[in-house]
Amino acid sequence: MKISAAGIAMLAMFATSAASGQATVNDGRLLASGCFQCHGTAGLKGGFGTLAGVPKTDMLNKLNDMRRKDARANVMYPHARGYTTYQLDLIASYFASLPKP
Amino acid sequence: MNRRKPAMTDNSRRHFLDTLGAGALLALAPLTARAATVNRVVVVGGGMAGATAAKYLRVWSNKTVDVTLVDTNTSYTSNIMSNLVVTGQYAPTILAYTWANLVKNYGVKLVNGGVTAVEPGGSLGPWKVIVTKGTTVTTLYCERVVLAPGVQFDPVPLTSDPAQAAPITHAWQAGAQTTLLRDRLAAIPATGTFVMTIPKAPYRCPPGPYERACVVADWLKRNRPGARIVVLDANPYVMAERENFENAFTMMYGANLTYLPSRVVKSVQAAAGAPGGTVTFDVVDPSGVPITTEPIAADVLNVIPPHRAGAIVQTLGLADSGGFAPVNGATFESTVAGKAGIHVIGDASKTALPKAGHVGNQGAKICVDAILRGFAGQLPYATPTANSACYTPVNSTMAGWLTAIYQYQQDPATGAWKYVAIDQVSAAVGATEARGPSTDSFAKMNTWYRSLMTESFS
């Protein structure tokens, strides 16, 4: 089947839409966005340390350590304790997928 | 005004899909409904939630969604940190933000004016938002409307004529009233009385009134040791960081602070421009039934009236009898019949989440994610999480903190979906407060504030 010039233009349009559509399919990003207020948008340039590019195992080890602590001793401990291990895995995977600054 | 790309006809779309083959058709099928147009969102109100929504609609769509942010003002004044402006510790300039970085960094379009109507848009889009500024009327067509108007305050009856509203200095919407209250505090007599009233929950910033009580008491203790603050709370007890604030009230400010729970303001006698006045209040029993009525005279009067969602939410019939807009917590879309496509975020929305800037920022991101998934023909993420975190000063050098992670989940007993703060390790329900205030938390408060404002406005 012949693809017309208009069809190619539309193909480009669909490609853009598909790309932006793909970008919204990110459960880890939505969950991790709760970290952005203090750690910066996409884990960059926040006041409490960069999370972008942190290896997943490192982050999960830290968070699991925090889960064993007294929740009232540090503002991060209730955060580590407030997400399910499944959610923490998605969050750590998201930050690990970002390039290290 | 936004220009739409020419619509793809059914024939051309079918032809195009044919050329892609069955596999591609499957992959792209959810997108076809929207692919022919540029999706447009109008965000009304540029506070913590609205600014964040405008930013993330652009960031998370890779700038493919057309975003217009409408606000009646040309800048935003932060409520967060404003209690330390009341005490004169910080300059008002630390509260000043604009949307210039959202325009520059992300291509958000700004329209200055008040929204007078949101109506079905006919053939030009599902909704049209009408913005008025003087004699200029701008009509914005869009696929989705996000309302973030914040709160408005209920009138308080004037004691001498209850049909009239008393002049009120709440300083609960930061701006001119913040510096007015600062100046009145600075001029309070040596043995003066500062009376602050707290409305029944839900109100904006659950720990905020108690924080203000503490930092004002601290200022009095250092500058007017013979003066005191009297706190009349319509609630039966301290609504947030109870241990932290109750300890501060009794151990730090015994002589300079009197905390009186279950006191509901009935009326206020005050003259416009005068710092003081008299509050008449009911002392109520635990079920809210008045037991007695008493007056109290104030040299400085700081009445925080009950509030409700901003005017546009009321105008559009989006609020329930409690004054706030019920929404689906996974999308923040209004649950009112006929209002599909209108989302309400921030303090104006009614969820189990607290009304506060940090969580307003997070609610905006949940809303944006749901809108973008919708544009892509996908369902919203069913079980989002929202977090609230804040630092709260108890004096000029020490602060506590309060935090909660809310899971949007279904109650197995009732079937109702709501946000619940649960410690996943201990299964304890509710927010967590710091084990006592510290200078370290005060320093972190400043970092938290700068981070949060950058995340929302830059």
Q: Rounded CA gap, A7 and B382, in Å?
A: 36
B225-231 average pLDDT score: 98
What pLDDT score was predicted for residue B19?
A: 35
Chain B residue numbers with beta carbons less than 8 Å from the beta carbon of A69 are none
Q: How far apart are CA A62 and CA B265, in angstroms?
A: 49
| CATH code, residues B160-305 | 3.50.50.60
Question: Span A27-97: which CATH code?
Answer: 1.10.760.10
The reply to whether residue A20 touches residue B376, judged by beta carbons under 8 angstroms, is yes
CA distances from A96 to B323, B365, B412 (A): 43, 20, 35
What per-residue confidence (pLDDT) applies to A26?
85
Q: Which amino acid is at B113?
A: G
Report how far residue A21's alpha carbon sits from residue B372's, in angstroms, rounded to the nearest whole number: 8
Whether residue B1 is predicted with pLDDT greater than 50 in this model: the reply is no
Residues of chain B with CATH 3.50.50.60: 10-151+309-380, 160-305
CB contacts of B37 in chain A (<8 Å) are none
Does position A34 have pLDDT exceeding 70, yes or no?
Answer: yes
The string of pLDDT tens digits covering residues B158-177 is 999 999 999 999 999 999 99
Q: Which residues of B, range 332-361, sit inside 8 Å of A by Cβ?
A: 358, 361
> What is the tens place of the pLDDT at every residue in B427-436?
999 999 999 9
The pLDDT value recorded for residue B36 is 53
Altogether, the residues listed in chain B come to a count of: 458
Tens digits of residue pLDDT in B34-51: 445 899 999 999 999 999
Work out the minimum CA distance from A49 to partner chain B, whole angstroms: 11
Least confident range of B6-15, B187-196, B246-255 = B6-15
Of residues B401, B353, B393, B394, the one with CA closest to residue B241: B401
Three-state secondary structure call for residue A22: helix
| Other Cβ atoms closer than 10 A to A86 | 10
What is the distance in angstroms between the Cα of B374 and the nearest Cα belonging to chain A? 9
Decide if B123 contacts B112 (C-beta within 8 A).
no
Ramachandran quadrant class, B323 (left: phi over 0; alpha: psi -120 to 50; beta: rest): left
Residue B4 has pLDDT above 60, yes or no: no
d(CA B155, CA B410): 37
Between residues B162 and A6, which one has the greater pLDDT?
B162
In this predicted structure, the answer to whether residue B120 has a pLDDT above a threshold of 50 is yes
Amino acid at A29: R
Q: pTM score > 0.95 for this model?
A: no
Which residue is listed with tokens 């602590």? A69
CB contact under 8 A, A83 and B424: yes
Phi/psi of residue B316, nearest 5 degrees? -85, 0
| pLDDT tens by residue, B345-369 | 999 999 999 999 999 999 999 999 9
User: In which element (H, E) is residue B130 found?
Assistant: strand B127-133
The tokens describing B454, both together, are 């950058």
Question: Are the C-beta atoms of B86 and B185 separated by less than 8 Å?
Answer: yes
Within 10 angstroms of residue B74's Cβ, the number of other Cβ atoms is 10
Q: Does the pLDDT at position B27 exceed 90?
A: no
Residues in chain A: 101
What share of chain B in percent tops pLDDT 70? Answer: 92
Report which DSSP code applies to B29: G
Architecture field, domain B10-151+309-380: 3-Layer(bba) Sandwich (3.50)
Residue A72 has pLDDT above 60, yes or no: yes
Q: Do A79 and B387 touch (CB under 8 A)?
A: yes
